[in-house]
Chain A
Amino acid sequence: MADLTRLLLGMTLLVAACAPGGLPARQTPAPTPVIGQTPASSSVTGQASGPARFARPPSPCALITAEQAAGLVPLLVGHQEGGEEQARVCTWTGPDGPYLPDSSRYELRVQVRHSPQVADAENVFKSWSDTFATSPRDVPGLADAATAFDRRVDDAAETGVGYRASNLVVIIDYIRRGPLDQRMRDNAVKAARWTVARLDAPEPQPDPNAGRFAGPPDACPLLDPSDRPGQAGPECTSDDVTVRVRHVPARGTTPGPTAAKELFELLAAQAAGGVGTSDEPRTDVTVSPVKRVGAVGEAAFTQEESGYTIFGSPTRITLWTRVSNLVVEVEVAGEGRKVTPELRRRAVTIAQQVVRRLPGG
Chain B
Amino acid sequence: MWRYLITCGVLLACCLPATPAMAAAEDPRFPSPVDLCTLLTEDAAGKVVPQARRPKGEYAGLESMGCRWVRKGVALGLSVRAYPHESGMAEEPWTHTAAEAHLAFRYLLNGRQRPSRLIIWSANDIGVDFEHRRSATSTTARPLAGIGEEAFAYSYLDKATRRENRVFVVFRVGNLILEVDHVAVENSSRAGTLLDRAAGAAKAAAKTLDRLSPPPQSPPADPPEGTFTSPPLGCGLLTKAQLGDLGVTRDPWPRENCGCDWPDQLEVRFWLFGPGPAGDGPAQAAEVFAAWRTESGGQPLAGSGDEAFTSAGEERVAIFRLGNVIGRVAAVSSSVDEAAAARMIAVAAERSDG
Contacts and interface: CB of A to CB of B under 8 A. Distances in A.
Contacts of B32: 246, 248-249, 251, 259-260, 262-263
B56 A269 contact: yes
A74 B288 contact: yes
Contacts of A102: 295
Given A100-B292, A267-B59, A184 B271 contact: no
A102 B276 CA distance: 16
Contact of B213 (A100, A183, A251, A262): A251
A352 interface: no
Contacts of A252: 29, 212-214
Contacts of B20: 66, 70, 76-78
Contacts of B294: 101
Contact of A269 (B30, B59, B288): B59
A66 B35 contact: no
B125 interface: no
Nearest to B284: A74
B85 to A, nearest CB: 14
A259 B278 CA distance: 44
A194 to B, nearest CB: 13
A49 interface: no
Interface string B50-68: 0000001111100001000
Interface residues of B, number: 41
Contacts of B60: 270
What interface size band does chain A fall in?
35 or more
Interface in A236-279: 246, 248-254, 259-260, 262-263, 265-267, 269-270, 273
B247 interface: no
B246 interface: no
B297 to A, nearest CB: 12
Interface string B194-228: 00000000000000000011100000000000000
B273 interface: yes
Given A99-B328, A266-B35, A74 B58 contact: no
Nearest to A72: B277
A251 B277 CA distance: 36
A127 interface: no
B148 interface: no
A73 interface: yes
A73 B60 CA distance: 39
Contacts of A104: 287-288, 291-292
Contact of B288 (A78, A100, A260): A100
Interface of A: 65-67, 70-78, 95, 99-104, 106, 178, 183-184, 187, 246, 248-254, 259-260, 262-263, 265-267, 269-270, 273
Ranked nearest first, the 9 interchain pairs of A and B with the lowest CB-CB distance are A252-B213, A270-B59, A74-B276, A66-B25, A249-B31, A104-B288, A101-B291, A76-B21, A101-B292
